[in-house]
A and B are shown apart, each in its own frame.
Chain A
Amino acid sequence: EVQLVESGGALVQPGGSLRLSCSASGFTFSNYGIHWVRQAPGKGLEYVSTISSNGGSTYYADSVMGRFTISRDNSKNIVYLQMTSLRAEDTAVYYCVRGYNYGRYWGQGTLVTVSS
């Protein structure tokens, strides 16, 4: 069974940093790209970032470019999202998603709250 489990969400002050993790199981992790998608409270879905299967290619939404960094450790089956210079508008549930052109498998999400 494919499972994606996010962790690392927390309450953080504006300007702070946080690292999210997405732990994967139930499939050959190194064969798949992984995406992060977020959802602000009561709002729609927003694409955040993508990393290719071998980590060689990464993509970012304009809203997080230069502040967020996606990476992966294929020996541990984990994808990371390092978030810096956090803003109030980054407050959201962050989902990791397995898929290429669409998200077939989603984690349950982890909540990031940016507030003083």
Chain B
Amino acid sequence: EIVLTQSPGTLSLSPGERATLSCRASQSVSSSYLAWYQQKSGQAPRLLIYAASSRATGIPDRFSGSGSGTDFTLTISRLEPEDSAVYFCQQSGSSLLWTFGQGTKVEIK
């Protein structure tokens, strides 16, 4: 089973700053099968990025994804107050079994 480890656990930044979130896999993951989600308090997760770098419909272009192999990154270029949330990475194996990272909490000062 592939384990996804996200860092940092919490990120506290000011509006307008850049946020860099990391997702590291215990073994190589196909870029096609790596996604990122945003979850705000009391809400269901929302798909942000799929196939490592493709933005989902309606996602602002300040959100971008990159990476390959075992190291993937979600970047929020200019933080807005509404970006306060927990962000999860997720991978899908060939058998459709999903695994999630433990999440990174982004706080806006």
Determine which of A61, A100, A104, A106 lies in contact with B97 in the assembled complex, contact meaning CB atoms within 8 Å.
A61
Contact present for A45 and B88 (CB under 8 Å):
yes
Q: How far is the CB of A79 from chain B (nearest CB, A)?
A: 14
**From residue 27 to 62 of chain A, which have CB atoms closer than 8 A to chain B?**
33, 35, 37, 44-47, 50, 59, 61
- A100 cross-chain contacts in B, Cβ below 8 A: 92, 96
Contact present for B44 and A44 (CB under 8 Å):
no
Q: State which size class the interface on B falls in.
A: 20 to 34
Determine which of A46, A101, A106 lies in contact with B92 in the assembled complex, contact meaning CB atoms within 8 Å.
A101
Determine which of A44, A61, A102, A107 lies in contact with B50 in the assembled complex, contact meaning CB atoms within 8 Å.
A102
Contact present for B45 and A101 (CB under 8 Å):
no
Q: Contacts A46-B100, A50-B97 given; indicate if A103 touches B47 (C-beta within 8 A).
A: yes
Interface residues of A (CB under 8 A from B): 33, 35, 37, 44-47, 50, 59, 61, 95, 99-104, 106-109
Contact present for B102 and A44 (CB under 8 Å):
yes
- B92 cross-chain contacts in A, Cβ below 8 A: 100-102
Question: Closest 10 CB pairs between A and B?
Answer: A102-B35, A101-B92, A47-B98, A106-B44, A45-B100, A102-B50, A101-B33, A44-B103, A44-B102, A50-B96
Contact present for B35 and A44 (CB under 8 Å):
no
Determine which of B44, B96, B101 lies in contact with A108 in the assembled complex, contact meaning CB atoms within 8 Å.
B44
Contact present for A109 and B47 (CB under 8 Å):
no
Q: How far is the CB of A21 from chain B (nearest CB, A)?
A: 17
Contact present for B56 and A47 (CB under 8 Å):
no
- A61 cross-chain contacts in B, Cβ below 8 A: 97
**How many Å lie between the Cα of A11 and that of B73 in the bound state?**
39
Q: How far is the CB of A61 from chain B (nearest CB, A)?
A: 7
